[in-house]
Amino acid sequence: MVRKSTASLIWLALLLSSVDASRQRPGQTRSKAPLLFEAQPLRQTVREGEPIHLRFRLTNIGNKDVLVNRHFRLFDLVDLRIVGQTGQRVEWCGVIPQIVDTPGAFILLAPRAHVEKVLLVSCDKDARWGYAFPGPGQYEVTATYQLHYPLNFLREAARSALVVKGLVVAKSIQVRVEPP
């Protein structure tokens, strides 16, 4: 048993240390999963330069357990498409974090259960990572959630639970940035 657990952890580390080449982006195949993904701004209106935080919630609306990652990392598990009122896209700034998940990052989400997290989505003052909102205006934000791991790994981790590989898309939300 210990050998199998150690081998599983090594296998998991190797699999998760590389990015899955089959990553999908918005506009590609979307999941018909029993998951509801929601994004909500903590504040609908912020002043330019203030941090923009969003609350993300993933709810199992099906009748069977679903394997999910409880971490909502930007540019990895959660991807944002942010568009300003003139159609300009808000771009990513800073580094792309490379984080390896441990087995504890994956949970089985029971029917009607949810997991949620609040994330800073705008670049912080140290510009480590986030989205660089170019200035005042109204922005439309569309969030997607997706597991980017090899399907065979996910199925093994899920046991009898469902595995969702496609995009789970949240309804678009609005965030307004006011002049300072």
Where exactly are the structural domains of the chain? Answer: 2-178
Q: What mean pLDDT comes out for the span 71-86?
A: 91
pLDDT reading at 64 higher than 80: yes
Contact 48, 136 (CB under 8 A): yes
Nearest alpha-carbon partner for 106 in 77, 142, 135, 143: 77
Question: Where does the pLDDT of residue 47 fall: very low under 50, low under 70, confident under 90, or very high at 90 and above?
Answer: very high
The whole-number pLDDT of residue 127 equals 60
Q: What CATH fold (topology level) applies to the domain 2-178? A: Immunoglobulin-like (2.60.40)
Contact between residue 164 and residue 154 where contact means Cβ atoms under 8 Å apart:
no
Strand locations in the chain (E): 35-41, 45-47, 53-60, 66-69, 78-84, 91-94, 106-109, 114-120, 129-132, 137-145, 162-163, 168-169, 173-178
**What is the rounded CA–CA span in Å between residue 77 and residue 70?**
10
Pairwise CA distance, residues 80 & 145, whole Å: 9
Lowest mean pLDDT: which of 6-15, 43-52, 131-140? 6-15
User: How far apart are the C-alpha atoms of 130 and 122, rounded to whole Å?
Assistant: 5
- Looking up tokens 């330069």 gives 49
Among 59-68, 78-87, 107-116, 157-166, which is the least confidently predicted range?
Answer: 157-166
Helix axes 2-16, 151-158, angle to 10 degrees: 140
pTM of the model: 0.78
Closest C-alpha among 40, 23, 58 to residue 168:
58
Residue 156's pLDDT is: 86
What does the pLDDT average to over 98-111?
Answer: 82
User: What are the two backbone dihedrals, phi and then psi, of residue 31, each rounded to the nearest 5 degrees?
Assistant: -75, 145
